[in-house]
Structure 1
Amino acid sequence: MKRLLLAAALSLATALPAMAQTVVIVRHAEKADASADPVLSEAGQARAQALAAELADDHPVIILTSPLQRTRLTAAPTAEHHSVTPEAIALNGGVQAHLAEIVARVQAQPEDATILIVGHSNTVPLIARALGYPDAADMPECEYDRMTTLHLLGGGRAHAIVSRYGEPTTC
């Protein structure tokens, strides 16, 4: 009986990610300068390409960014590869309104959807927490290579995998 229960539990555990929404959250790639709305540096352009390569076998049904061009430029190669038009979520209502809109857009997607979100160092951890990963670490200003992949399990819970992509950043 224990073997049967263990087999059922393992089967359910391996099936859950396939039935759950997958949300990939990254910070925008390296910026060219410290201006208010900079483009990507050469390293940032390479990281945007690395993101597209990392997600080549996935198919995001929606890509969410902020309206700032560094997030849109980071998402562009992935969007082009998958023929998805990124959607910019406004920042003018403040961070809480931005988070609420992102959560609403994610919740509106099908159960088996893959979603890419490109944010900022101050929003990436907040987005992960809002989607059910309370242990999301704050992000230092010098970190660009963190990729948080959430499998949303319902009930405000998520299974998280934190990985790195592209060239390592050093802080």
Structure 2
Amino acid sequence: MKRLLLAAAVSLLTAGLAMAQTVVLVRHAEKADASADPALSEAGQARAQALAEALADMHPVLVLTSPLQRTRLTAAPTAQYHSARLEAVSLEDGGAAHVAATVARVRALPADAAVLIVGHSNTVPLIARALGYAEAADMPECEYDRMTTLHLMGDGTHGEVSRYGTPTAC
């Protein structure tokens, strides 16, 4: 009887996870310089490849970025690997509007969709919080290796933080 109850519980948990949106949030990789819209440095290009490798089993249907090239260049290897559409969310109306538009785009997707969001140190934590992950910590300017994975489910948002690529030291 205990085995039957355990099997039923595992089945319910698995079914619930199958209907969860999975959202992975990362900051863009290392910049080549301090200009307004820099490309990626050599280390940043390596990190973009490491991101694609880390997400090889994810199968995102959509990759959201800001319009700045460092976010698009960071996301490109993952989007190409999965043949996922890469979509830039405008920054024209400011950070709060960008966060709201990004969250609205995620919420408009099917309940079991997987999404990669590549943002900035000042937008990634705000997007995570707006998606219901209140534990999202602010991100220092020197941090490039944080990966926040969220599961958006009917009973709320569950998240975890991991690292990918070469560790960054702040």
Partners in 2 of 1:25 and 1:114 — Cα distance?
A: 11
Partners in 2 of 1:93 and 1:154 — Cα distance?
A: 31
Q: Give the drift of 1:2.
A: 8.5
Give the conservation status (yes or no) of the 8 Å contact 2:26–2:118: yes
Instruction: Give the secondary-structure state (helix, strand or coil) at the position aligned to 2:102.
Output: helix
CA deviations on 1:58-84 (whole Å, 9 max, x unpaired) are 211010000000000000101111112
Alignment length (residue pairs)? 170
Residue equivalent to 2:82: 82
Q: Which amino acid aligns with 2:164?
A: Y
Q: Give the drift of 1:4.
A: 7.0
Unaligned runs of 5+ in 1: none
TM-score of the superposed pair, with normalisation by structure 1: 0.92
Q: Give the drift of 1:6.
A: 6.4
Deviating above 6 A after TM superposition, structure 1's stretches of 4 or more consecutive aligned residues are 1-6
Partners in 2 of 1:80 and 1:160 — Cα distance?
A: 26
Partners in 2 of 1:30 and 1:150 — Cα distance?
A: 23
Residue equivalent to 2:147: 147
Instruction: Give the secondary-structure state (helix, strand or coil) at the position aligned to 1:52.
Output: helix
Unaligned runs of 5+ in 2: none
Partners in 1 of 2:113 and 2:21 — Cα distance?
A: 5
Residue equivalent to 2:125: 125
CA deviations on 1:86-131 (whole Å, 9 max, x unpaired) are 1000001111111111111101111111000000000000000000
Q: Which amino acid aligns with 1:30?
A: E
Residue equivalent to 1:60: 60
TM-score of the superposed pair, with normalisation by structure 2: 0.93
Identity of aligned residues (%): 76
Residue equivalent to 1:18: 18
